[in-house]
Structures are given as C-alpha cells and as structure tokens.
Amino acid sequence: MNTAESGFDYQATRAEGDAVARRGLLDLAARLIAEEGPQALTLRTLAQRANCSTKVVYTLFGGKNGLSEGLKVEGFALLRFAVERERRRHRDPVRALLPVMMTYRSFALAHRALFGVMFLNALPEHVATDFSRQQARAALGAVEAAVAEALVAQGLGSADAFDAAVRLWAAVHGPVTLEVEGIPPFNGQGERLARLAVSDVLASLQLPPAPNPKE
C-alpha cells in the first residue's frame, strides 16, 4: 500500500507541525488495525505506511505504548464529543437520554478499531496511564452531566447522577460489545437490544425513555 492509499503522508504534512503529524499517525494506526487486525500495528509498519522513519514515531509517541495510549485517548475524546453533541441536539433533557446513550453504539460501530483498543484489550501489551483513565472518566462525565440535567428536570435531584450514569453505560456497553464482536443475536438486532437495555434502566430511574422513531 502506498501513502496515497493509506491516507496520510508524513512528508507532505511535516511543515504543519507535530500536532498534525500525531493526528495523522493515529488515524493511520486505527485504519491499520481495522483493515489488518491489531497484530499488524507495529512502529515499523506504521512508519512505512506514513512515509517516515520509526524515529519520527518514537519522537512523537515515545514508543508503542505511547502510540497505544494515543489511540485510547483519541477514542475517549471522540466518544465524549459525540455524547455532548447529541445532548445539545435535544431541548428536553429527559427525552435526550435514550439517543445520548445510543450514541455509544453509533460510536462503537463507526470506530471499531478504537473501541477495541478502549474496551476489548485489542492491544494487550498496552499499559494504561493516569491520563487515559482521566479521559475515560471525562467521557463518563459527559453522560453524568446529561443524567444530572434530566434528573433535575424531573424534580428528582442530581445526587445520584453518577450511579445512574454508570448503570446506563453498563446497560448499553453489554449489547454493543456483543454486536461489535459479531455474537448472535446481537449482530442482527443490536440496535433493538441496546434500546431495550437502556430503556429498562431509564424506567427504573423514573426517566421515561423517548419513543423509538422507527415504531
């Protein structure tokens, strides 16, 4: 595969600075995992695809663990952004919760490689740092903020927003993970089953879920 096919050429972008180079290499690494599997991600292969030396990758990431950490951090940042963007789309914070949680599924399906790094131990040699844990907590914090707003709107108070957010995250994570892994029946009914799981938790929290627009 040449650099045109890989979608990133370090030599063509090096004048734009390290931030652009880091983002390009992370995007390329995620694509490499998606197309050829996690075992294909080596610093040498990545450098070859990006038209740069392995020294460049080491300089920008400090090695394979830093690259893996960058993928995880990027994933949690994208997930947080997706949750916050969906939340802003809705005027009713209670009705927003089901589509907000379904954003988790949309993210997982659109970014399977990142989801695997974040949650499925796709890069088992990776040792997480406090920074990536903080980014994971920030993504959960976006869900917590949406839940707190909904609880207040229902006159329930926001003291239990964290516990509720964890319950919702866990509810959607199970079916979504099984769907991403292609495990029946989730590979054919993933959206319906994820909606059911989230709706059950919302009902228990006295936060009536939004109706399914397909129904």
Residue 30 pLDDT exceeds 80: yes
pLDDT tens for 4-25 read: 455 788 788 877 888 999 999 9
pLDDT digit string, tens, across residues 38-71: 999 999 999 999 999 999 999 999 999 999 999 9
Q: Give the pLDDT of residue 31.
A: 95
Residue 2 has what pLDDT? 42
88 contacts 145 by C-beta, under 8 angstroms? no
Q: Of 99, 122, 101, 115, give the one whose Cα is nearest residue 179.
A: 115
Architecture of the domain spanning 9-62:
Orthogonal Bundle (1.10)
| Sign of the dihedral defined by the CA atoms of residues 162, 165, 171, 173, in that order | negative
What pTM was estimated for this model as a whole?
0.89
What is the pLDDT at residue 83?
A: 97
pLDDT of residue 158: 84
At 94-110, the pLDDT tens digits run: 999 999 999 999 999 99
Query: ω before 213 within 30° of 0 (cis)?
Result: no
Q: Is the pLDDT at 133 greater than 90, yes or no? A: yes
Q: What is the pLDDT of residue 107?
A: 97
| Residue 76 pLDDT level (bands cut at 50, 70, 90) | very high
The two three-digit tokens of residue 173, written as one number: 């994570």
Which pLDDT band holds residue 210 (cuts at 50, 70, 90)?
low
The amino acid at 26: L
Residue 122 has pLDDT above 80, yes or no: yes
Provide the residue type at 13 as one letter.
T
End-to-end CA distance of the chain: 45
Name the residue ranges covered by the structural domains of the chain. 9-62, 74-204
Q: What is the pLDDT of residues 142-155, one digit of tens each?
A: 999 999 999 999 99
Residue 161 burial by Cβ neighbours in a 10 Å radius (0-12, 13-18, 19+) = buried
